[in-house]
Chain A
Amino acid sequence: MPLGAARFGLLGGVADLGKLELIETQTVSATSVEFTDLQESTYNVHLFVWNGIEWTGGNDTMSMRVSNDNGSTYESTANYSYGVQLNGVSGNTSESKRNGHTSYDRLAQQLQNVPHNGYLYMYNAGNSSKYTFFTQHLNGSSITANYYDFRFGGGVYSVAETVNAIKFFTGTYSMTGTISLYGIAES
């Protein structure tokens, strides 16, 4: 049962104390997927969970942009920064970083037909006086060295404004799988 169902008391009358509340799950079958119902005035912290996201057309990457107008447009000025550590199964490690980029790119870098899974936390999206920060941890695979890895780190959209929609998109190929968005409630 989706966690969000429990929120509305669908567990046979059992009181629900859960505060990880499902907002939306999207089954992806395109080069992009948008979340335009963040309910950012309700939740100060959000959680995105990737489940089996992959692309079959060729090797590709996943990027992200945010919107301040409910998804009508997505911000493409150089206000995205991140630092991510990549850890390969053969013991190799590498750094992936951007300091002022036009998107939160390389969120995932995947070989063709290799699903990836993981999570991304988002902080302060609904606070117009703060930047929107992210922390993440995903499994992946190197599209340059052909090995599996996991990657963790954090990032920021460094504009103090309300973020009310998110778009994840690939460079070229359609992706499949699901992405779920949760809000972390305090009451």
Chain B
Amino acid sequence: MGNLEFIKSASGTSVSSLSVTDCFSADYDVYEVFIPTDDLSSTVDTRFRLLDSGGSEVTATSYDIATLTLRAGASFAEERLTSQDHFRSLTAGNNTTVGVGILLRIFNPYDSGSYTFSMWQSSFKQETLGYLEGRKSIGVLKQSAQHTGLSFYNGSGTLDSFEVSVYGVK
């Protein structure tokens, strides 16, 4: 019977980045990551990277992303990026304390023989524009390597408040 199994959670206030270490293992192929709080110190975007087997951030320019931005108050927009050194735009412009809703799925991060694929869906308040925005994104880290965790950070500034929980899918 399939289910979610809680692995670990992490939170931080006024931090430059927040790492969730050793949350990936051989026990699961797929992970669901929930983020209910993501308050940025500036109107940039929330980004994340994988952690390698030694716990260090993977900063190689091997991340590709495609994103649809959904807006309650304006037309939607597409973004396609290749050869980045991070996954970007979990959110953008949410320097507000009202919370967010983010579901991030990670596939095969611990499998040294496959790339790590991801998809995420978010809902948040774009503080500058004053309306709801969301993201629907797909991404891949083109490294056949073992990854053990995640690191989240603000594109410019700090994470004023951030909460994340990681579950394995059985």
Q: A residues engaging B (CB < 8 A)?
A: 1, 3, 6, 17-20, 44-45, 81-85, 95, 97-100, 121-124, 127, 129-131, 133-135, 137, 152-156, 158, 160, 184-187
Give min CB distance, A116 to chain B, whole Å: 18
A185 to B, closest residue via Cβ: B6
Flag if A135 contacts B101 (CB, 8 Å): yes
Residues of B within 8 A of A83 (CB): 70-72, 76, 132-134
Chain B residues in 8 Å Cβ range of A135: 101-103, 121-123, 134
Give the shortest distance, in Å, between B119 (CB) and chain A (any CB): 10
Contacting pair B136 A153 (CB below 8 A):
yes
Which single member of B36, B75, B131, B133 contacts A123 (CB below 8 Å)? Answer: B36
Q: List 27 A-B contacts (CB under 8 A).
A: A3-B1, A6-B3, A17-B5, A17-B170, A18-B4, A18-B5, A20-B3, A85-B70, A97-B72, A98-B72, A99-B72, A121-B103, A129-B97, A131-B99, A133-B123, A135-B121, A153-B70, A154-B70, A154-B124, A154-B132, A155-B72, A155-B123, A155-B134, A156-B123, A158-B98, A184-B167, A187-B6
Bound CA–CA A156/B99 (angstroms): 10
B136 contacts A20, C-beta separation under 8 Å: no
Q: How far is the CA of A184 from the CA of B168 in the complex (A)?
A: 12
Q: Give every chain B residue within 8 A of A152 (Cβ-Cβ).
A: 121, 136
Residues of B within 8 A of A99 (CB): 72-73, 131-132
Let me know if B86 is at the binding interface, CB within 8 A. no
Q: Is B68 an interface residue (CB 8 A)?
A: yes
Chain A residues closer than 8 Å to B170, beta-carbon distance: 17-18
Contact across chains for B131 and A81 when beta carbons are under 8 A apart = yes
Q: Give B residues with C-beta under 8 Å from A.
A: 1, 3-6, 9, 34, 36-37, 68, 70-73, 75-76, 97-103, 121-125, 131-134, 136, 165, 167, 170
Q: Taking the nearest CB of chain A, how far is it from the CB of B29, in angstroms?
A: 16
| Nearest chain B CB to A36 CB, angstrom units | 22
Known: A95-B76, A97-B72, A154-B122. A130 touches B3 (CB 8 A): no
In the complex, what distance in Å separates the CA atom of A16 from the CA atom of B68?
38
A1, A81, A98, A187: which has the most chain B beta carbons within 10 Å?
Answer: A81
